[in-house]
Structure 1
Amino acid sequence: MNAQISNGVNQSKNIIIGIIAVLAVGAIILFANLNPQDSQRAEKIPDANGILIAEEKNFDFGTISMSKGNVSHAFKIKNESESAVSIKKIYTSCMCTSALIIDASGKKYGPFGMPGHGGGSPIANIEIKPNESVEVKAEFDPAAHGPSGVGLAKRTIYIETNSEKTPKIELEISAMVTK
């Protein structure tokens, strides 16, 4: 009987030691993944109180033919505040759509597309100063989906900012695609 009690105590000790070891390894992994530079970087880029306003958020190309090639439309976005706002990321909902940003000085950024589908990096880091505007040129390739890509197409350009008031802007284009 004493052997059974001793065996049970040893099993309990082994279980407790195993739990402590798992917790210790978990704590080491957790603290190893904390990078103080990341938190310092986040503190250096505070959220902006600025507001970005899109003059229009939707544009319909109407009926377009695949054979006539790409179509484009320029959306205007204005910083209607007294604080600068940074566009952090830009990406599209489909590989058939790309976006180009043209700032107030005429400098071009992009093209930006669908992440993971040849659209390049969505990272933008474009600053829009107070009362300045940028142009977001949306380009749509109606032939990108091949002959079966006829019918109504709706695509979105997503713009993520550091603004607390307008953290994300969505611009939508649509078209009735024919062969």
Structure 2
Amino acid sequence: MKVGLTILGIGILVIGLAKMGASTSAGQTTASPIRSSSALTESAGTVNIEQNNLDLGDIPIGGGTVNATFYFTNTGDEPIVLTSGKTSCMCTEAVVTTADGAVSPKILMQGHGSSGVLDMVVASGERASVVATFDPMAHGPNALGPITRDVILATNSKTHPDVRFTFRGNVVKE
């Protein structure tokens, strides 16, 4: 009797784990991020952001989402690993795309549905992009005025362990 229950329990556990591993989001078209075991090793890679502190100007509250696109290059001699990411507010999400076309999972505010784990490699000399998407209606129809939002990427770089991409705007009535 005990052996039968134990085998049944193990079977249920195996099926549950298999289903968790096989689950995907409907319609998801992102590539799998590159996995690296060097995420825990500090890198001499450095991050150079081409343009930061973007000003999006006036953002009509009912005009739909707007994007802020940032580019950065690993100007160091070693690859860097983007270990995780988060945004400063639930109204903002982001994705990273590397030169080889790998696209990260959605980066969200911590605690809002994303693990934040990226584990993507940016090779020495490689250029990558971060696209932040801001939803002006996320806080409701009366959330007008100036906004500042960030996308923060954690890396294994000795000189740039955290990289912050910032954009600003002014949410206005249409």
Q: Same fold (TM over 0.5)?
A: yes
TM range (shorter): 0.7 to 0.9
List alignment gaps of at least 5 residues for structure 2. 1-36
Q: 1:77 aligns with which of 66, 72, 80?
A: 72
Shift of 1:110: 2.0
- The within-5 A match list for 1:1-179 is 45-118=40-113, 120-179=114-173
Q: Normalization by structure 1: what TM-score? A: 0.73
Q: Which residue identity is paired with 2:85? A: I
Shift of 1:44: 8.0
Shift of 1:45: 3.0
Shift of 1:148: 2.2
Post-superposition CA distance 1:41-90 (Å, at most 9, x none): x9983100110111112111100101110000210010001100001111
* Larger helix percent: 1
Please identify the structure whose Cα radius of gyration is greater. 1
Relative contact order higher in (CA < 8 Å, ≥ 6 apart): 2
Which piece of structure 1 moves more, 106-115 or 90-99? 106-115
Distance in structure 2 (CA, Å) of the matches to 1:85 and 1:49: 8
Q: Which residue identity is paired with 2:82? A: I
Shift of 1:107: 2.0
Distance in structure 2 (CA, Å) of the matches to 1:54 and 1:43: 22
When residues 59 and 46 of structure 1 are mapped into structure 2, their CA distance, relative to the original with a 3 A threshold, is same
Which piece of structure 1 moves more, 90-99 or 52-61? 52-61
Post-superposition CA distance 1:104-127 (Å, at most 9, x none): 012211210101123x11111010
List alignment gaps of at least 5 residues for structure 1. 1-41
RMSD: 1.6
Distance in structure 1 (CA, Å) of the matches to 2:38 and 2:166: 33
Distance in structure 1 (CA, Å) of the matches to 2:161 and 2:40: 14
Corresponding pairs, count: 137
8 Å CA contact 2:69, 2:131 repeated in 1: yes
Distance in structure 2 (CA, Å) of the matches to 1:64 and 1:134: 26
Shift of 1:136: 0.3
Q: Normalization by structure 2: what TM-score? A: 0.75
